[in-house]
Amino acid sequence: MKIARTIAELRAQPRDGSVGLVPTMGAFHEGHLALFRAAREENDVVIASLFVNPAQFGEDEDLTAYPRDEKHDAALADAAGIDILFAPSAEELYPPGFQTWVELEELGRMLEGEFRPGHFRGVATICLKLFNIVRPDRAYFGQKDAQQAAIVRRMVRDLDHEVEVRVVPTVRDPDGLALSSRNAYLSAEERERALALPRALATKDPQAARARLNDLDVDYVEVADFEPRVLAAAVRVGKTRLIDNVVLDKESV
């Protein structure tokens, strides 16, 4: 596996056939590996990006604390058959004078967007930049971040990009908790309390879900009209903010 740190280095890599891109912020777990597998199955060349995107973190969020272990991630990506790991610096992607942003007027301000102002501006901008840098045929996202997937799909449609957006079902621990890099912040006691989130969503009913989340600090529990429609929620367990969702329209993923 080649590690590319600059845009020029990435673009200089040989690429024969179809290209799949998996954008990530690292701290790989089985959720990321499911995306890698899907990309590996469907493309000749698979590129994963590893970039903790400062632009999608709010001022009081966990940018500096976000788990980083590039060596470990590189070993996992290599074992998963990734051909190129694109791991640029923040200066490479946001050089001095950077001032062009992608903003989704409605989708970017609801649900997560309401509680994390500017978050989806950062997400949409980095995804478009990665699409322009890598020029993939397909890009892979997790259903775990349902609104992010909806944002990327909408942006690709609105800005006439040619990339095909693929969404992979949420990977969960056996107890139901959706895998997330942020789960590493949870103490054993908090992790136990966090199980209320998947259990509440499993009701697939907003009212029943709200009742089951009574003991947690809830940001929202809402039905969101994405494709597919989901029941989505965000809760805080101690200092950790967790999001999750269940698909409503078809068999649960």
Active-site amino acid positions? 32
Nearer to ligand AMP, 177 or 196 (CB): 177
Residue whose C-beta lies closest to ligand AMP: 142
* First-last CA distance in the chain: 31
Q: Which two tokens stand for residue 29?
A: 């777990």
Residue 52 CB, shortest distance to ligand AMP, in Å, is 9
Site for ligand AMP in 70-89 (CB under 6 A): none
3-state DSSP of 49-101: EECCCHHHCCCCCCCCCCCCCHHHHHHHHHHCCCCEEECCCHHHHCCCCCCCC
Q: Which of 43, 125, 147, 170 binds ligand AMP (CB under 6 A)?
A: 170
The full DSSP string for 94-137 is S-TT-------TTTTTSTHHHHSTTHHHHHHHHHHHHHHHH--S
Residue 152 CB, shortest distance to ligand AMP, in Å, is 9
Q: Which of 179, 209, 233, 237 binds ligand AMP (CB under 6 A)?
A: 179
Q: Which of 76, 127, 178, 224 binds ligand AMP (CB under 6 A)?
A: 178
Contact between 130 and ligand AMP per CB under 6 A: no
Nearer to ligand AMP, 96 or 179 (CB): 179
Whether 35 contacts 142, CB under 8 Å: yes
- How far apart are alpha carbons 57 and 216 in whole angstroms? 23
Nearer to ligand AMP, 97 or 174 (CB): 174
The helix or strand, by DSSP H or E, that contains position 35, with its residue range, turns out to be helix 30-42
The full DSSP string for 185-248 is G--HHHHHHHTHHHHHHTT--HHHHHHHTTTSEEEEEEEE-SSS-EEEEEEEETTEEEEEEEES
Which among 91-99, 179-187, 191-199, 227-235 is the span making contact with ligand AMP, rule CB under 6 A?
179-187
β-bridge partners, 175: none
Residues 5-24: x where in contact with ligand AMP by CB under 6 A, - otherwise, as a string: -------------------x
Site for ligand AMP in 33-52 (CB under 6 A): 34-35
Contact between 142 and ligand AMP per CB under 6 A: yes
Residue 151 CB, shortest distance to ligand AMP, in Å, is 11
Contact between 168 and ligand AMP per CB under 6 A: yes
Q: Largest Cα–Cα distance of the chain, in whole Å?
A: 54
Which chain residues interact with ligand AMP by CB under 6 A? 24-25, 31-32, 34-35, 141-142, 144-145, 168, 170-171, 178-181
